[in-house]
Amino acid sequence: MARPAIRPTRRQFLKTSAAVAVGAGATRPFGAPALAQRPKLVYWCYQFLKSSDDARSNFAQEWAKKNNVDLQISMVPLKEFLPKITAAIEAKATPDIIESDAVELRARGQLLDVTDIYKKLEKTYGGWVGNSPKIMLEPDGRVHHIMYGFQGFMLMSRDDLVKEAGLTPPPATWVDMLAYAKKAQKLPRIFGMGIPVSNQTDSQVWEDMMKSYGARLADEKGKRIVLGDYKPQVWEFLDFFTEVWKAGVLPPGVTTWDNTMNNSTYQSGKAVFILNPITLSLWLEENNPELLAKTGHYTYPKGPKGLIQPVTFGSRAIMKYTKVPDLAKQFLWDSMEPGKMDREHGVSQWGPVLKAYLGFDVWKKKPFMKGLIDLSLRGEPQGYPDVFNDAWREQHTNTTISRMLQRLVVDNWSRDKAFVEALDVLGKIYSKYAV
Amino acid sequence: MRTRESLGGLALLAPTLLLLLGLVLYPFCYAIWLAFSDKTVGSPGQYVGLRNFIYVLSWPQFSAAVTNTIVFTVCAVAIKFVLGMAVALVLNQRIRARNFFRAFLLLPWVMPAFVVYLVWRWLYDPLAGLINYALLDIGVITSPIAFLSDRSTAMGSVVVAHAWRNFPFYAISFLAGMQTISQELYDSAQVDGASRIRQFRHITLPGLYHIIGVVLLLTTIQTANAFEPIYLLTGGGPSDATMVYTMLVYVMGIMNLRLGEAAAVSTLFLPLLVGLVLVVTMLLQKKANA
């Protein structure tokens, strides 16, 4: 005969539960298990070139294992970084460490001071390369992000086609580049210059060109727009651009190209010259070595007033809401160790930021990587000769100079009208930050 | 007694009301507040009165965004309506493999927007695109057309891509409506000698008024808020020829981190969107009452 089930009363149930809980606690008198004690670190890793991304995330995984850290890595493409971090900041659920150029977050007080790491790295590894200090140091001497690599746009040239046209690469000036492009292109299959003139930031290479004609956007403090004082230089540049447009060296569609189209145009062999970071060459190395062998890598051609060669960079920063600042700093420090960086540079698009990295074998092994040394040593911070500040960054995102060019060729505006609109837009942007 | 009942009713409704207030009213009011503040990402923001509105109204891309949003919405809704109705009429007939075609129709709509618009970008590409290749091959054109990069064709091209992806919703909705109309009405009309067009005008259309109303209302709002087609196909270019307000909000709020300005753009568009919706509703109401 089955015994009837006895249901415990609520009081009995609570009593038993409490006794079980106390008993369970007593068996672990020295605190929670090691697994629960593992500190957690959330790391947003910049995603662009697979080999480089893998190298950095693999290091992070190994580091976490070695240091008993519960690491959560998210690979974030550059294009998605701002939307994601904006939401994270507003929700106060930020990662601990981020990889980006970090500048927009620094200005908004979202980053932890890492001056101590900056100084320690400088002292230990022979000092910083090129303009790294100018990029990292703020006017008050503090540092909020640690650069791990330079990158920048270079002139990539189909040297085989240039030589076939009876010319010697590289073209020395922008005017020479146009002449080369006209002669070396093979329409309608191969176009001379694969450069966007769209609303995407890669189109701002035209701003660099304009500056090599002697113009600048704002005064030396980066507060007041002075482009209006440089009308003759801008006019000369606009004449050059109009000539480029009329020569038919730009492929159809450049006015709506996104930041990948110059890459794909070159990869498919449809452009003689493009301006692009070395990421493309690393892709070619793996996927199209024949095309890489035909490709020359050079600094920008010069303008009438000299060379403007800007550099961008990759850097790591610690978000100010982190609960593990010391651990995050430890990660930043360990991730700059030369042995690790040597391995990483071999598969990455980054140029050296510390002098200890200048002796790495990779700069000798891969001829196309040599250009990165030159770029790192001589490259100026983005925006040069303008100050790289929030106002410059906003006009850059707004692609102000490329829009001025689009007015000329898409809307058939006069130079005066397009120039006046550009001045108005620049004035509006800079006046917001002038206070 | 009645008061007690009312209070009881209110108490039962309270959780839903609170949820609605939290999910709808709070974000709406917060967005309005943002428009009057200098809020940027990470900063609390201060009240700045109408400063954002003055800034946005003087911004060159704003007027382009107003015009383009209206053009894009009206054209896309019109094309989707005509195409959706035509396809629904065909699929309402007794044709072979009707069920297969009804399922097949949904394909563009269920595909991720990202994939659809990247495919369209490739189709439009002047150097490697299928459309140019075909047109050149059959001799219709002698040089490639930069569909997305020419001011005269950019908006049309974006509208076509958007309409292609979204017309199945119209077609399926109309088809569902058509199946509720009694066949006897058509039989009687046929006996009376009514042509197909007259049958459509006097039986099908009146029978669909309510569905048309709901579909137009929902999709007008959805189309005016469309972002992916512009972002993925043209980025608002060439020279702002396809700059719509959602793209402008994205640039100001996400790219430049200036949430106050972005909210001001959205707030300024609110009356326009409400106006569009009211016009659609009133027209349909008038027609339904007639």
The reply to whether A19 falls in a domain is: no
CB neighbours (10 Å) of residue A33?
A: 9
Question: pLDDT per residue over B189-238, tens digit each?
Answer: 999 999 999 999 999 999 998 899 889 989 999 999 999 999 999 999 89
Shared domain check, A288 and A410: yes
The reply to whether A8 falls in a domain is: no
What is the rounded average pLDDT of the residues B76-92? 96
Shared domain check, A162 and A140: no
Q: What average pLDDT is seen over chain B? A: 91
Shared domain check, A263 and A186: yes
How does DSSP assign A265-279, residue by residue? HHHTT-EEEEEE-TH
The reply to whether B25 falls in a domain is: no
How many domains does chain A contain in total? 2
Q: How many residues does chain B have?
A: 290
Q: Which residues of chain A does B254 touch, with a Cβ-Cβ cutoff of 8 Å? A: 82-83, 86
The reply to whether B248 falls in a domain is: yes
- Work out the pLDDT band at B288, boundaries 50, 70, 90: low
**Does pLDDT of A253 surpass 70?**
yes
Hey, are the CB atoms on A397 and B154 less than 8 Å from each other?
A: no
- Work out the pLDDT band at A29, boundaries 50, 70, 90: very low
How far B116 CA lies from chain A's nearest CA (Å)? 17
The reply to whether A147 falls in a domain is: yes
Question: pLDDT per residue over A313-343, tens digit each?
Answer: 999 999 998 999 999 999 999 999 999 999 8
B176 lies in which domain range? Answer: 36-289
Query: What's the CATH number where A239 sits?
Result: 3.40.190.10
The reply to whether A59 falls in a domain is: yes
- Partner B contacted by A337 (CB < 8 A): no
The reply to whether B27 falls in a domain is: no
Hey, are the CB atoms on B42 and A109 less than 8 Å from each other?
A: yes
The reply to whether A14 falls in a domain is: no
Shared domain check, A234 and A159: yes
**Does pLDDT of B10 surpass 90?**
no
Shared domain check, A377 and A283: no
Shared domain check, A192 and A266: yes
Shared domain check, A366 and A276: no
Shared domain check, A163 and A43: no
A46-55, A240-249, B146-155: which range is least confident on average? Answer: A46-55
Best of A76, A256, A428 to disrupt the B interface (most B CBs within 10 Å) is: A256
Shared domain check, A251 and A356: no
Query: What's the CATH number where B235 sits?
Result: 1.10.3720.10
Q: What's the pLDDT score for residue A53?
A: 86
Peptide bond into B238 cis (omega under 30): yes
- Partner B contacted by A254 (CB < 8 A): yes
Among A343, A362, A381, give the residue marking a domain's end: A381
What is the DSSP-derived secondary structure letter of residue A357?
A: G
Q: What's the pLDDT score for residue B156?
A: 97
Shared domain check, A350 and A375: yes
* Percent of chain A surpassing pLDDT 90: 66
How many domains does chain B contain in total? 1
Shared domain check, A93 and A190: no
A338 lies in which domain range? Answer: 39-152+312-381
The reply to whether B156 falls in a domain is: yes
Among A339, A364, A381, give the residue marking a domain's end: A381
Question: pLDDT per residue over B85-109, tens digit each?
Answer: 999 999 998 888 888 888 888 899 9
Question: pLDDT per residue over A70-123, tens digit each?
Answer: 999 999 887 788 888 888 888 888 999 998 766 678 877 889 999 999 999 999
- Partner B contacted by A83 (CB < 8 A): yes
Shared domain check, A369 and A248: no
The reply to whether B123 falls in a domain is: yes
* Percent of chain A surpassing pLDDT 70: 91
- Partner B contacted by A127 (CB < 8 A): no
Q: How far is CA A104 from CA A117, B121, B285, in A?
A: 21, 31, 50
Q: Which residues contact B144 (CB under 8 A, 6 or more apart)?
A: A188, A252, B126, B127, B129, B132, B136
Of B126, B234, B257, the CB nearest to A252: B126
